[in-house]
Structure 1
């Protein structure tokens, strides 16, 4: 019996690792996605250095103008990394969802690379630097803080993408609440314009939808 008849067509939540790994199309898509993730990690510092050195423009933002700035780096990254860790634990037991989410994350960064290039911005007034214990050390790694990676909010978009990646309703609602909280916190920190935060869920949703079509097309073509 052909392998395609013995293994369900992706994506399916019930697909287990032995069956998924036995499928050459799944292995290729997963390994390619992981390789591109490493390329992304190597590319990001150089690209952000370019973005930081480029002049931009300041947007009027009545909400930020009325909102006092406070350093809320601790709760912001506490929510982000707790959400990422919990969701990753969920996805690692579900290879089809993991593959879908991996490609959605890559597409999200492709969108963000494009929008950062097309929409050069200066930091909002009153900005306080976010202190990310992981990114500051391993990705940016330069003496100049990155403050112009603005449109759209990667933190908010990532949390919303996580909410799309899980299936239990309660878990999804918790992640949606975390998305709203992180969006509000980066505004309190004045590290993003309101427009950056409001646009983020739309790019995350587009990335997840496109990733589903991409992964399905790849595995069905085998």
Structure 2
């Protein structure tokens, strides 16, 4: 516990790390709270309801799995955040950029698809925004967590991979996503993961020296 506290103190007393963290977090919040919740939500809400036929959804029963769609995703966020802060706090700005890039990709694609929610959809309790379909964020988020942790922690990577399947199954059974939304999510997310490591390559290890210096003391 003492080593972890010293590690955080070493990071946050560095103005470059703190500035990078705040800027990265600010960009993410702007995209989500303003671009998505205000600008994009208004556009999505006025789309004329025109559900697309989906043979997989037609074959599946409609099941209310609101806990998985509305609550489980927050558990995944909490677990991933706790892991980052415990194991790799120096990479927090990089990981924020990575997830921002994923949601940026989704928010850019959404206006070009103009899909409306499937027939017989059971909407989430905590999500008042409809028609934000392609691609499935419920599937993409745990899969990106899996990609980040797959070479670093054995059990947690399996947890996130299993959670990807759970979330994908949940949104399909609730019929709040089309099959293509779920199918495409892992492929787009993998592309985002590789692109993020290319675009922010230096940022990935930019603050490792702060941890190394602490270990040498």
Task: Please give the range of the TM-score, normalised by the shorter of the 2 chains.
Answer: 0.7 to 0.9
Q: Is the 8 A contact 2:62 2:174 kept in 1?
A: yes
1:116 equivalenced with 2:110 (yes/no): yes
Distance in structure 2 (CA, Å) of the matches to 1:92 and 1:151: 30
SS in 1 for 2:162: helix
Distance in structure 1 (CA, Å) of the matches to 2:203 and 2:68: 39
Task: Using the TM superposition, name which of 197-206 and 181-190 deviates more.
Answer: 197-206
Instruction: Find 1:30's aligned residue among 21, 24, 40.
Output: 21
1:43 equivalenced with 2:26 (yes/no): no
Deviation at 1:101, TM superposition (A): 1.7
Instruction: Find 2:91's aligned residue among 97, 120, 124.
Output: 97
Distance in structure 1 (CA, Å) of the matches to 2:176 and 2:19: 38
4+ residue runs over 6 A deviation: none
Deviation at 1:106, TM superposition (A): 0.6
Partner of 1:153: 136
1:63 equivalenced with 2:39 (yes/no): no
Distance in structure 1 (CA, Å) of the matches to 2:97 and 2:190: 13
Change (3 A) 1:83 1:220: closer
Change (3 A) 1:146 1:38: closer
TM-score calculated relative to the size of structure 1: 0.78
Deviation at 1:146, TM superposition (A): 2.5
Deviation at 1:21, TM superposition (A): 4.3
Partner of 2:189: 204
Distance in structure 2 (CA, Å) of the matches to 1:99 and 1:120: 32
- Pairing 1:136-151 to 2, within 5 Å after superposition: 136=127, 145-151=128-134
Q: Which runs of 5+ in 1 are unaligned?
A: 1-15, 137-144
Q: Is the 8 A contact 2:47 2:116 kept in 1?
A: no
Structure with the higher fraction of residues in helix conformation:
2
Change (3 A) 1:103 1:152: same
Partner of 1:10: none
Partner of 1:80: 73
1:184 equivalenced with 2:176 (yes/no): no
Distance in structure 2 (CA, Å) of the matches to 1:158 and 1:39: 18
Q: Which runs of 5+ in 2 are unaligned?
A: 1-6, 207-217
